Amino acid sequence: KLTFLPSLSFLFSALPHLPTFSVSTEKGDFIALDLGGSNFRILRVRVSHEKKQTVQMESQIYDTPEDIIHGSGTGLFDHVAECLGDFMEKHNIKDKKLPVGFTFSFPCQQTKLDEGFLITWTKRFKTSGVEGMDVVKLLNKAIQKRGDYEADIMAVVNDTVGTMMTCGFDDQRCEVGIIIGTGTNACYMEELRHIDQVEGDEGRMCVNTEWGAFGDDGRLEDIRTEFDREIDRGSLNPGKQLFEKMVSGMYIGELVRLILVKMAREGLLFEGRITPELLTKGKVSIKIKGFVCTIVSFRSANLIAATLAGILLRLKENKGVARLRTTVGIDGSLYKMHPQYARRLHKTVRRLVPDSDVRFLLSESGSGKGAAMVTAVAYRLAEHSREIAQTLSEFRLTTEQLLDVRTERYCCDSATVKMLPTFVNSTPDGSEHGDFLALDLGGTNFRVLLVKIRSGKRRTVEMHNKIYAIPLEVMQGTGEELFDHIVQCISDFLDYMGMKNARLPLGFTFSFPCRQTSLDAGILVTWTKGFKATDCEGEDVVGLLREAIKRREEFDLDVVAIVNDTVGTMMTCAYEEPTCEIGLIAGTGSNACYMEEMRNIEMIEGDEGRMCVNMEWGAFGDNGCLDDIRTEYDRAVDDLSLNPGKQRYEKMCSGMYLGEIVRNILIDMTKRGFLFRGQISETLKTRGIFETKFLSQIESDRLALLQVRSILQHLGLDSTCDDSIIVKEVCGVVSHRAGQICGAGMAAVVDKIRENRGLDHLDITVGVDGTLYKLHPHFSGVMIQTVKELAPQCNVNFLLSEDGSGKGAALITAVGCRLRQELNNK
């Protein structure tokens, strides 16, 4: 008993928790198939709830002939499908697609409840072409081949598991199942933390020990006899299932016969005469009386008791109790029919595990009821999974839907997407030179930079920067307070750099929709991304900055350019890669810019050359053109935002909103009982808990399920590992859709540039920045793949901006200073 458990490679049954979940929760009409012995049994199990849960069962037994169990796999499963069809016809249920539980009493590797790969045949079975195959798939194939009925196979269950579940229906303490019949096996409820093959550490899972294989590694050699070895040599599977060959009903009659033959040959029995019956394998049944039978059957009971004791001691250790109280569900012809077997087994178990109260409960209805109960649970969970999949299917966009987004984006009217001119007419040419100050405002942080640009043979850009926080009360206070805070940060930076007396040229990266009238003048159209400072919309933000500098009366700056962060990103990347003519931000917000032909920019005079336009594509869809793909969760996030009805595209694909979409989905799923035990915590009610960094961590391929659960618990969400799986899937579909939507927008941009230039094929580079693009494990890949699929005539290279948009703002300022100097010289 001490060496039994460590010597087996357990097969987990994919059956979670104790059978208590079946009591008073499951109901319905189910079919159970039971294949594993000389007969094949089919049951119809009806579970109802009127005043209390009742179970009605009807069953029929079908023969499994020798030519079937020693023939081909196709023949076996065709036979099972034929019997099932006959059963359904007799019960007038051929027109129903009932959930089916399949009790399959052979060693299977299970990765999920409705899948079982046969490891090896045991007992009398030796059907070809089945080992290594999924038996559920083989049965489904046989049923489909018939075509006269449908069956929904929800679970494949070992007979020990079915027995445990059957007995667990009547006694909720039942946590062990044993079969002692033609073959032998056991299962028990193991702590999840001890099962290496399964992620998770809370709760329990049923493991199928397949203890018939105990001793295949040589551990039983000390007690195996010459008779055991002879039986093994003549079996269908020599060297395998050695323990089973010492204890199960299929073999102990043969053991008795071999012993009697030897005793007769030695003159100890039958006056030394050996009859033909005695020499015929299988002719001596287990009903032969006498001391030989008693010794062989008692050895069987003692060995089973010793191995069962190993399981009971494991349960006792797991529970950390001084005295174990448990129930063992038991079934099998040897246990039920042998007159002394059960008494001997019980007595030996109690002697080996004295600190225990073990009840042995005989399964009156075999393993069928248990298989039906497992099926009922699987059916309920499958219904949950189906509803979850249906909810998330709205986020799984088809190629046709993405093409519609691209087309709508391409043909959008000017009222939806602004296409704002930036007065940036070219990318850097390498002649830029000097020291420049750059400000970068667009999120919860504000950055001040000193950028030293050197031209010549060895172009260099040296940067110094400092990051300052912008408190929420400043973001949503008055405009004067906001710009005074900005100037205070600049003052601190100039002190830090020792440059307060120098009047430096300044470029202002301002990541909000502005209508520019010149390079150094931009009127704020609307705040986005959580900003709501008053008295700013409709005003020139450069003028507001200059006024704040004057109020400070400490220093003076030459504000040369106001730049959108997308433009700054494009310029930063264009300094290194001349083919960069598009800028993309995929971070807190989402936006893009590109070099447009002057002839297409209605607000600016002149047809020659190009100018960078700030698309402000976050507002795409504000006219309702995206309503077909917006979900109820998108609408909920929009309704509770600071700017309802605005920036709808951005709210579907930017980091600021993805976490809120996820949170709203999780709340809905919790209300429907799929998550967090149906309890909506105060944490889940809190807006903004799912930051982009948490989504990125949860979706990381390298993160195990326990680590995902740890992140959720850190956020105050008491989740199980099952919850963690669902949360990870929700995060995945939301971020995948974001990548697709962003990719569809970019595909429209590159195709427009290609058509503008009359090209069959376009090679172009996109400068890109933003936390979502940089940190999320899958967003960038999904976006890039979507662009490839939707714009096949364009070869698009994405270049990550290592220096953010601040360097680009300084470069634009440098270009502005150079052009201004050239104009003055003229």
| 519 neighbors 423 (Cβ within 8 angstroms) | yes
Q: Is 818 a catalytic residue?
A: no
The residues pairing with 189 across neighbouring beta strands, listed in sequence order, are 206
Distances (CA, A) of 562 to 304, 330, 434, 440, 813: 83, 80, 18, 10, 9
The single residue of 41, 44, 257, 447 carrying the catalytic annotation is 447
Specify which of 11-25, 51-65, 744-758 reaches the highest per-range mean pLDDT: 744-758
Amino acid at site 384: H
- Position 56 pLDDT exceeds 90: no
pTM: 0.70
Comparing 750 with 422, which gets the higher pLDDT?
750
| Confidence band, pLDDT 50/70/90 cuts, at residue 50 | low
Domain ranges, ordered by start, for the chain: 5-384
The pLDDT of residue 390 is 93
577-615 burial string, b = 16+ CB within 10 Å, else e?
Answer: eeebbbbbbbbbbbbbbbbbbbeebeeeeeeeebbbbbb
Comparing 373 with 446, which gets the higher pLDDT?
446
| Confidence band, pLDDT 50/70/90 cuts, at residue 115 | confident
End-to-end CA gap in the chain? 100
- Tokens 């047809």: give the residue: 607
Helix (H), strand (E) at residue 728: helix 721-756
Angle among Cα 16, 333, 258 to the nearest 5 degrees reads 120
Helix (H, G, I), strand (E, B) or coil at 411: coil
Over range 64-69, report the average pLDDT. Answer: 88
The pLDDT of residue 53 is 63
Query: How many CA atoms within 13 Å lie on the side-chain side of 323?
Result: 7
CA 45 from chain centre, in angstroms, equals 33
| Confidence band, pLDDT 50/70/90 cuts, at residue 18 | very low
- Position 4 pLDDT exceeds 70: no
The pLDDT of residue 152 is 85
| 313 neighbors 353 (Cβ within 8 angstroms) | yes
Q: Kindly report the average pLDDT of the chain as a whole number.
A: 85
| Confidence band, pLDDT 50/70/90 cuts, at residue 275 | low
Query: Residue 502: which of 453, 558, 551 has the closest Cα?
Result: 558
| 545 neighbors 487 (Cβ within 8 angstroms) | yes
Angle among Cα 262, 264, 267 to the nearest 5 degrees reads 115
The rounded percent of the chain whose pLDDT value lies above 70 is: 89
- Are β-strands 434-441 and 445-454 bridged in parallel, bridged antiparallel, or unpaired? antiparallel
- Position 49 pLDDT exceeds 70: no
Out of 7-16, 166-175, 421-430, 745-754, least confident range:
7-16
The four Cα atoms 300, 305, 306, 309 give a dihedral, to 10 degrees, of 160
Cα dihedral 641, 646, 652, 657 sign: negative
Angle among Cα 206, 109, 33 to the nearest 5 degrees reads 75
Amino acid at site 76: L
Burial class (CB in 10 A: 0-12, 13-18, 19+), 93: middle
Angle between helices 341-352 and 291-319 (to 10 degrees): 40
Q: 794 φ, ψ to 5°?
A: -125, 135
- Position 20 pLDDT exceeds 50: no
Comparing 13 with 502, which gets the higher pLDDT?
502
Q: Is 565 a catalytic residue?
A: yes
Distance CA 19, CA 109 (A): 21
Query: Residue 425: which of 567, 221, 281 has the closest Cα?
Result: 567
| 165 neighbors 374 (Cβ within 8 angstroms) | yes
Helix (H, G, I), strand (E, B) or coil at 29: strand
Helix ranges, 269-423 (H): 276-279, 291-319, 333-337, 341-352, 368-393, 399-410
Comparing 8 with 383, which gets the higher pLDDT?
383
Comparing 52 with 458, which gets the higher pLDDT?
458
Outline where DSSP puts E strands in 36-107: 39-49, 53-63, 99-104
The pLDDT of residue 289 is 45
768-782 burial string, b = 16+ CB within 10 Å, else e?
Answer: bbbbbbbbbbbbbeb
Q: 161 φ, ψ to 5°?
A: -65, -40
Distance CA 301, CA 323 (A): 24
Helix (H), strand (E) at residue 109: strand 108-112
pLDDT tens string 580-632: 999 999 998 899 999 998 888 877 777 778 889 988 898 888 888 888 999 99
Distance CA 653, CA 372 (A): 45
Distance CA 441, CA 439 (A): 7
Q: 515 φ, ψ to 5°?
A: -100, 105
Distance CA 158, CA 84 (A): 19
Specify which of 45-49, 53-57, 390-394, 606-610 reaches the highest per-range mean pLDDT: 390-394
Distances (CA, A) of 680 to 175, 618, 676, 692: 32, 32, 7, 22
Distance CA 736, CA 740 (A): 6
Distance CA 604, CA 584 (A): 23
Helix (H, G, I), strand (E, B) or coil at 555: coil
- Position 805 pLDDT exceeds 90: no
Query: Residue 730: which of 670, 771, 789, 654 has the closest Cα?
Result: 670
The single residue of 105, 363, 365, 511 carrying the catalytic annotation is 511
CA 24 from chain centre, in angstroms, equals 30
- Position 272 pLDDT exceeds 60: no
Cα dihedral 645, 650, 654, 658 sign: positive
Distance CA 369, CA 49 (A): 16
Burial class (CB in 10 A: 0-12, 13-18, 19+), 374: buried
Distance CA 569, CA 578 (A): 13
The order of strands in the sheet holding 762-769 is: 420-421, 610-614, 590-597, 580-586, 762-769, 794-800
- Position 22 pLDDT exceeds 50: no
pLDDT tens string 127-176: 999 999 999 999 999 999 998 998 888 888 888 888 888 888 788 899 99
Query: Residue 338: which of 464, 438, 248 has the closest Cα?
Result: 248
Quickly count: other Cβ atoms within 10 Å of residue 386's Cβ. Answer: 10
- Are β-strands 39-49 and 28-35 bridged in parallel, bridged antiparallel, or unpaired? antiparallel
The pLDDT of residue 704 is 64
The pLDDT of residue 530 is 83
Helix ranges, 291-332 (H): 291-319
Distances (CA, A) of 346 to 311, 313, 352, 353, 368: 14, 15, 10, 11, 25
pLDDT tens string 717-742: 777 777 888 899 999 999 999 999 99
- Tokens 């364009």: give the residue: 794
Q: 764 φ, ψ to 5°?
A: -150, 155
Amino acid at site 390: Q
pLDDT tens string 763-787: 999 999 998 999 899 999 999 999 9
Distance CA 369, CA 152 (A): 17
pLDDT tens string 643-672: 899 999 999 999 899 999 999 999 999 999
Query: How many CA atoms within 13 Å lie on the side-chain side of 718?
Result: 6
CA 715 from chain centre, in angstroms, equals 19
- Position 641 pLDDT exceeds 60: yes
CATH class of 5-384: alpha beta
DSSP state of 626: T
Q: Is 300 a catalytic residue?
A: no
pLDDT tens string 294-344: 899 999 999 999 999 999 999 999 889 999 999 999 999 899 988 899 999
- Position 524 pLDDT exceeds 60: yes
Distance CA 565, CA 573 (A): 12
Helix (H, G, I), strand (E, B) or coil at 86: helix
The single residue of 228, 440, 565, 634 carrying the catalytic annotation is 565
- Position 417 pLDDT exceeds 80: no
| 745 neighbors 405 (Cβ within 8 angstroms) | yes
The four Cα atoms 759, 760, 765, 769 give a dihedral, to 10 degrees, of 100
- Position 575 pLDDT exceeds 90: no
| Confidence band, pLDDT 50/70/90 cuts, at residue 383 | confident
Out of 105-109, 219-223, 790-794, least confident range:
105-109
Distance CA 288, CA 644 (A): 86
